[in-house]
């Protein structure tokens, strides 16, 4: 358990979530309205990829192949939920009596926290695979996952699909993929993947050796 508290990104995510909670409670206290309450659920979902990266890293470092595959697939499916929060700016509008700048801070805090959750989880999985996968293949895989996450954000925001629909409604999801507006999907995918990519690069070059250390339990 003590290792979890030393896991990279945890302090930043707790701080970001705590700041958002303070801003939200301040908004509710001032306006008497529970506007933007949906952000609480979206922030929870943003944490899921980070939480899933823990069993992924454990399974990889301890050579638990079956557990690792299942955890990795679940992580890939839920990763778009982290940067997805940035699209909640679509709900931004003047909502009296709260000034617009306050809601910008509220949504901005949630968005940054979501991006960091995605970037930290991505970096942790990458470092877990370091030395076990060819470097070029690993880097290519990272950017494929980032691009897929951007596409997942489009599916969530505009097509209204959830990560679990891959298992619950696979046929309907496949049908939706065939009928989607390609230009909009391409632009949203590229932009959202780009934002996640920037966050990932910032995290990647900020800290190294998060998994490959004596505390990680790597064999």
pLDDT in tens, 182-197: 888 899 999 999 999 9
Tokens of 195: 């934002």
Q: Which of 38-47, 63-72, 189-198 has the lowest mean pLDDT?
A: 63-72
DSSP alpha helix (H) spans, 32-134: 38-61, 65-78, 100-129
Domain ranges of the chain: 2-216
Backbone CA torsion sign across 115, 202, 75, 162: positive
Give the pLDDT confidence of 109-156 residue by residue, as tens digits: 999 999 999 999 999 999 999 888 899 999 999 999 999 999 999 988
pLDDT(48) > 80: yes
Tell me if 185 sits within 8 A of 151, measured CB to CB: yes
Higher pLDDT, 6 or 72: 72
Separation CA 194–CA 211 (nearest Å) = 25
Of all residues in the chain, what percent carry a pLDDT higher than 90? 64
Tell me if 56 sits within 8 A of 128, measured CB to CB: yes
């Amino acid at each position: 358990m003590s290792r979890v508290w030393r896991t990279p990104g945890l302090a930043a995510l707790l701080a970001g979530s705590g700041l958002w909670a303070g801003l939200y409670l301040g908004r509710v206290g001032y306006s008497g309205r529970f506007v933007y309450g949906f952000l609480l659920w979206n922030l929870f979902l943003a944490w899921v990829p980070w939480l899933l990266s823990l069993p992924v890293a454990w399974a990889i470092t301890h050579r638990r192949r079956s557990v690792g595959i299942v955890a990795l697939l679940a992580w890939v499916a839920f990763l778009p939920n982290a940067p997805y929060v940035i699209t909640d700016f679509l709900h931004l509008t003047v909502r009296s009596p709260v000034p617009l700048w306050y809601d910008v801070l509220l949504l901005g805090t949630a968005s940054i926290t979501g991006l960091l959750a995605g970037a930290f989880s991505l970096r942790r999985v990458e470092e877990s695979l370091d030395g076990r996968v060819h470097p070029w293949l690993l880097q290519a895989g990272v950017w494929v996952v980032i691009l897929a996450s951007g596409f997942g954000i489009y599916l969530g925001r505009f097509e209204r699909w959830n990560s679990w629909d891959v298992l619950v409604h696979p046929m309907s999801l496949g049908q939706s993929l065939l009928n989607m507006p390609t230009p909009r999907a391409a632009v949203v995918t590229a932009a959202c993947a780009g934002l996640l990519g920037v966050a990932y690069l910032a995290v990647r070059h900020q800290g190294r050796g998060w998994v490959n250390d004596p505390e990680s339990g790597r064999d």
